[in-house]
Amino acid sequence: MLIRAWLHGRPANTVAAYRNDAARFLAHAGKPLAEIELADLQAWDSSLAADRATSRVRRLSAAKSLLAFAHGLGAISTDPGKALRLAKPTATTAERILAEADVQRMIGAEQNPNRKALLRLLYLCGLRASEAAALCWRDMTPVGKAGEAKILGKGAKLRTVGVPAALWRDLVALTPTRQPNAPVVPSPAGRAFDRQAVHRVVRAAAKRAGIKAGVSPHWLRHSHASLATTTGYLHARRGDHAANYLPEV
C-alpha cells in the first residue's frame, strides 16, 4: 500500500523501474521498511558497485525517495536516507552518440519497412522508446509536405518535434487510414510497438550493422540531441526543427 501510494502519478517507466528498485533494496536489507538503518543503505550502495554509475544512482535515489515518503507520512519514525550522500555520476553521453555512418548502416540494413520507419523516427525526431511506442496519429499535424508531432515526455512535459517530409510521406504510406488512435508506426503484425519491442528493434539493427553491444534508443536520441544543441535551429519558427538539418535516412 505504501509503495503504491509512493508511485502514484509517476510516469509508467518510472513506476516500473522504482518498483523493481524498491523490491531489490528491501530484499537485500532483509527487514521491514520501519527497521531500515543507514548501515542497510550503505550496504545496498556497496552491493551496487559493479552497476553502471547512472543505474546505481537511480537505485539509491529510489531507496532514499521511498524512505523520505514513508517518513513524511509518519509510517517510519526517522529517515535514514537523509544521511546517505549520492555520488554524482560521470557524464558519459559522448560515449553514447552514434556517428552518422553508424546510424546510416543501422537504418540501411533494416529491410522491414515498419522497423525501418521506427528507427528513422527515433533518430530524426529524437524520441525516447516509450514516446515512439505511444505516438498515435491524433498527435500528428501536417505542415506542408512535412509534419509535426506533439510528444508527451518525461514529467508530463509536452513538446513539439518536426517530422521531415520524406519520413512523413513514408509514415503516411504505412497507415493509409490514419485513425486518431492508430499507432504512427505499427509493428509488422499491425499492432503498436511496446517499449521493449522498440529496444529489440534497435539492438537488432545495431548488431546487423556491426556496432558494439549495448546500443539503445537513447543512443539515437543523443545523436539527434547533439546536433540540435549545436545548431540552435530547434523551434526557431513553425515547421523549422532540428530534424530538418539532419541528413535524410
Query: How far is Cα 133 from Cα 175, in angstroms, rounded to an integer?
Result: 15
Provide the greatest CA pair distance for the chain. 62
- According to CATH, the superfamily of the domain at 97-245 is Intergrase catalytic core (1.10.443.10)
Backbone φ and ψ for 190, nearest 5 degrees, come out as 95, 0
Locate CATH 1.10.443.10 in the chain.
Answer: 97-245
Query: How far is Cα 147 from Cα 142, in angstroms, rounded to an integer?
Result: 4
Backbone φ and ψ for 19, nearest 5 degrees, come out as -65, -45
How much is the pLDDT for 86? 83
Query: How far is Cα 97 from Cα 149, in angstroms, rounded to an integer?
Result: 23
Query: Tell me: the pLDDT tens digits for 202-214?
Result: 999 999 999 876 7
How much is the pLDDT for 87? 73
How much is the pLDDT for 228? 44
230 in Cβ contact with 152 (< 8 Å): no
Q: Alpha helix (H) ranges present in 30-128?
A: 38-47, 53-73, 100-108, 113-125
- Mapped onto helix, strand or coil, the DSSP state of residue 116 is helix
How much is the pLDDT for 134? 93
- Strand ranges of the sheet holding 158-163, from the earlier edge strand across to the other edge: 140-143, 146-152, 158-163
Locate CATH 1.10.150.130 in the chain.
Answer: 2-83
C-alpha cell, 209: 550493422
How much is the pLDDT for 227? 43
Give, in order, the Cα–Cα distances in Å from 199 to each of 37, 119, 214.
37, 10, 10
How much is the pLDDT for 237? 42
- Mapped onto helix, strand or coil, the DSSP state of residue 159 is strand
Backbone φ and ψ for 59, nearest 5 degrees, come out as -65, -40
Fold of 2-83: DNA polymerase; domain 1 (1.10.150)
Q: Write out residues in the chain with pLDDT < 70, as ranges.
A: 88-96, 213, 222, 224-249
* Three-state helix/strand/coil letters over 168-202: HHHHHHHCCCCCCCCECCECCCCCECCHHHHHHHH
How much is the pLDDT for 93? 53
Sign of torsion, CA 152 153 154 159?
Answer: negative
Return the residue matching grid coordinates 503516411: 172
The conformation of residue 127, written as its DSSP 8-state character, comes to -
